[in-house]
Amino acid sequence: MGSGEYELLWGDQARPGRGRPAGLSRERIVAEAVAIADTEGLQHVSMKHLAERLGSGVMSLYRHVPGKDELKLLMYDSLMAGPPPLPEADHWRDLLRAWGLGVRDLFTSHPWALTVATDQRAMGPCEATWVDDVLGRLEQLDMPAPLALAAVLTVDCFVLGAVRPELGMADAPAGKAEFFRFLADPAMRERFPHLARLTEPAADPPLDHYFEFGLDRVLDGLERHLETRR
C-alpha cells in the first residue's frame, strides 16, 4: 500500500479541500459506491457511473477520492463502521463463534467485499476498531493477548476460505442445486458415488451447515490448545 492510500484511510478527513462542491462528500461517494457494488457488482463501480448517480461531474469526485483502487479500500472499511458482531459472552468460544458468523454475514451481505479483503492492503480505522474490540473482549475472558490475536486471525482465515464457495453457490440461479446440477444425471451419480451420497438431505453434517461445522471444529482446536497449555 502506498503512502497516498494510507493517508486516505488514516488522514484527517475533516480538512477542507479547495474547490469541493457543496453537498458532495467522501462519505456520500463511498455510500453510493457500496450501493452500486451491492446491486450491480464491484465491476460496475466507476467514477463515471458514480458521477451519474450522484448528479455530479466526474472531476468533482477526484477531489475527494484519487481513484477506484483507493475507493475500494474506503468502501470495504465503511462496512465496519458500526459496532462489531459481538454478543455479551462469558466464554471466549461463544465470542469467537459470534465473530466468525458476523464476518461471514458481512461477506454474504456484500459479496464483492471478499475480493477487497483478500487483496494486499492495510487495515482501515473501522476494521481496526472491530479487531481491537474483539481482542479486548477476549483478554477480559482471560485469553492472553498474543493467543487472542492468533485466534482471531485463525477464525478470519477460515471464514475467508469457507465463505468463497458459499458465495459462488449464492450467485448461481438455484444455489446448491445448481452447483451440483450434474448429480441430477443418474450416470453422474454412479460416477461420483461419494459426492452423490454426501449431498443428499440425510447427509451428516448437512452440506447446508458446513460453515458452522467447520467453524466449530476450528474452535475445538483452539480449545484443545488452551487445555494443553494449562
For residue range 152-197, list pLDDT tens digits in order.
Answer: 999 999 999 999 887 875 554 445 566 778 888 999 989 999 888 8
Question: What average pLDDT score do residues 64-88 get?
Answer: 94
Q: With the C-alpha atoms ordered 64, 69, 70, 76, is the resulting torsion angle positive or negative? A: positive
Averaged pLDDT of the chain: 87
CB 70 within 8 A of CB 26: no
Q: Note the pLDDT of residue 196.
A: 84
Residue-level pLDDT at 204: 60
Contact 10, 125 (CB under 8 A): yes
Q: What is the pLDDT of residue 203?
A: 59
Domains and CATH numbers, the chain: 3-78 (1.10.10.60), 92-229 (1.10.357.10)
The answer to whether 6 and 121 have CB atoms below 8 angstroms apart is no
pLDDT of residue 158: 96
Has residue 12 got a pLDDT over 70? Answer: no
Q: What is the percent of the chain with per-residue pLDDT over 70, rounded to a whole number?
A: 86
Closest CA to 186 of 198, 174, 196: 196
